[in-house]
Structure 1
Amino acid sequence: MKKLLCFAHRGASGHEPENTLSAVEKAINLGADWIEVDVYAVERELIVIHDERLDRTTNGTGLVMDTTLEYLRSLDAGKGQCVPTLREVFDCVDRRAGINVELKGSETAGLVVSLINEYVTAWRWRSDQFIVSSFHRRELGKVKKLDPDIRIGIVIGGFHRPYKKFVTQFTTYSVHPRIDLVNADFVRSAHERGLKVFVYTVNHPEDIARMVAVGVDGIFTDFPERVARRKDF
C-alpha cells in the first residue's frame, strides 16, 4: 500500500494566516506530514512570506526586498501573527513533520543550506526531513552544489519548462507541478526518472481523489485534514 504524503501549503492556510506560526501549528495538529513555507532573504535573515509585495498578507506596503528586517518583523501577518523567520518555523515544527522550504528570492540557497546543516548537526534533525524547492533552478543548483545530501524539488507552474535536462545535471528528489499539468502520463514519466510527484494546490475532495487516481506521491493543500484522511491508497 502506497502512502500519500500531505503537504500543508504555507501551513494550514485554509484555517490560519498563511506562512505564520499559527498556520504551522494548526497543520501539525491536523495531521500534515510536511509543512511548506516560502522564504526571502532580508539582511541575511530568512523571512517566511510568499509574495514579492507585503500588501496582500500583511498590514504593510511595498516590496519585501525594499524593506528592512525591523520593519518586516513589526508587521501583522493576520490575527496578530508576525512574519516569522525560517528559524522560528524550524523551532515550531520541532521534528514533528518534515519541512519543505520554497526559495522565492535570490541569494536564499546558501542561507537555507547553512540553517539546515545547523539543525542536522546541533538539533538531531535528519537531512531527509527537509526538501528545498523552487521555480528558480539556479538557486536549486546552488543548494545541491553546497550540500549534495539535501533533497531538492523543481516547482513547475504555468510556463512549463522541461525538467529533464536539470535532473541529469543535479540529483533531484521530486517535481512539484501545478494541478492542471498533472495526468497519468506526467506521473508515469516522472516516476520513470526516479522522481516523486508532489502536486499543488489541491483543496477540493474531487480533485484530491483525481490526483490519487493518477498516482501522485503527495499533495499540497490549504486544508491538511482533507488529505490526511486518506493517507494510504
Structure 2
Amino acid sequence: MTIEVQGHRGDRGNFPENTIPAFLSAVKKGADVVELDVVISKDGKVVVSHEPFMSSLYVTTPAGDSIAKETERSYNLHEMTYDSIKKFDTGSKGNKNFTQQQKMHTYKPLLEEVIDSVENYVKANNSKPVYYNIEIKSEEKEYGISQPHPAVFVDMVMQILTKKAIIGKMNIQSFDPAILNEMHKKYPQVTLAYLTAKPGIESNLLQMDFTPSIYSPNYKLVNEAFIDSLRQKNMRVIPWTVNNDEDINRMIQLKVDGIITDYPERVLSKL
C-alpha cells in the first residue's frame, strides 16, 4: 500500500505557513497533497489562513510591528476586507516553533490563488497531479462572529472549488460536525474527513448524520486497535501532525493511509 504524504499548511517546517512559497515547496518535494485552512473575509473572499485573526506568533502589521497576544483576536479577518488582510506580513517575523523556517515577506493568499499557483507549477513542470485537503476552520461559538454559519460557509468554499474544477482531486476536512453534515447534505459527491483530537471513535462519529470517508485524528491516538476499528467502517486513517522520526516510523509501521506533516521531506525519505 502507498501512504499519501500531505504537506501541512504547505511546508510549514521550512516556509511560512499557508503561503504560496510553502505550498510550492511541498509540491516540489513530491508531496501528494497540500493541506490548507480557509476562513472568510468581510467581503466574502475565501482566504487561506489557520486562524480567523492575525496570529501574534508569526504576523506583523503593514507598518512592520509585532502583534500582541492580548490583541490578536481584535484583528478579526471576518471583519476585514481582503485588500486590508493582504497588507499584513505573514513571513518576515518567522515562527519560534519552526526555527529552520525561511523568513520572507509574504501574505495570506486567496484559495483561488493557491490553486492557480499549484496547478500552473504542475503543468509547467509536467509533475504528477496534486490533491488538496482543505480544512474549513469552524467552531460553533464563532458562528456569525469570526466566520459565517455552516450553510453559508460551505457554499462559499464550494463556489471556488467548482469554479476551479478540482472537485475530483480534493477533500474537505473539519473539526466541526455541522460543517461536515452540511457538506454531505448539499454536496454528496465531495470526499469528507473528520478531524479530531478526542478519543472515542464511536461517540465522535455519532455527531454526524453519515460516516465520513476519512478519519483524521491526532497521531497520538493511533494504535493498531484504533486502525482496525476504523478499517471495519471502511474509513481511511490520516493522522496529523507527524513531524519527528520516531512518530513517522510508527505511523508507517501501522500502515496509516496518509500522514499530515510539517516536514514532507522527512516522510518522503522513509517511504
Q: 1:171 to 1:92 in 2, by over 3 A?
A: farther
Q: Partner residue of 1:118?
A: 163
Q: Partner residue of 2:60?
A: 59
Amino acid of the structure 2 residue aligned with 1:64:
L
Amino acid of the structure 2 residue aligned with 1:65:
H
- Cα RMSD of the aligned pairs, angstroms, is 1.8
One of 176, 193, 198 as aligned partner of 1:153? 193
Give the TM-score of the pair, scaled to structure 1.
0.90
Amino acid of the structure 1 residue aligned with 2:136:
L
1:104 aligns with 2:132: no
Distance in 1 of aligned mates of 2:21 and 2:164:
21
Long gaps (5+) in structure 1 = none
Distance in 2 of aligned mates of 1:181 and 1:23:
28
Q: Partner residue of 2:116?
A: 91
Distance in 2 of aligned mates of 1:88 and 1:118:
12
Asked if the contact 2:205/2:211 (under 8 Å) is kept, the reply is no
Asked if the contact 2:3/2:255 (under 8 Å) is kept, the reply is no
Long gaps (5+) in structure 2 = 62-71, 92-103, 123-128, 139-146
Q: Partner residue of 1:46?
A: 46
Give the TM-score of the pair, scaled to structure 2.
0.78
Q: Partner residue of 2:82?
A: 69
Q: 1:49 to 1:226 in 2, by over 3 A?
A: same
Structure number with higher strand proportion: 1
* Structure 1 runs (4+) greater than 3 angstroms displaced: 158-161
Residues 1-233 of structure 1: pairs in structure 2 closer than 5 A: 2-42=1-41, 43-54=43-54, 55-60=56-61, 61=72, 62-78=75-91, 79-94=104-119, 96-105=129-138, 106-107=147-148, 108-120=153-165, 125=166, 127-158=167-198, 162-166=203-207, 169-231=209-271
Q: Identity of paired residues, percent?
A: 28
Amino acid of the structure 2 residue aligned with 1:152:
L
Amino acid of the structure 2 residue aligned with 1:91:
D
Amino acid of the structure 2 residue aligned with 1:57:
Y
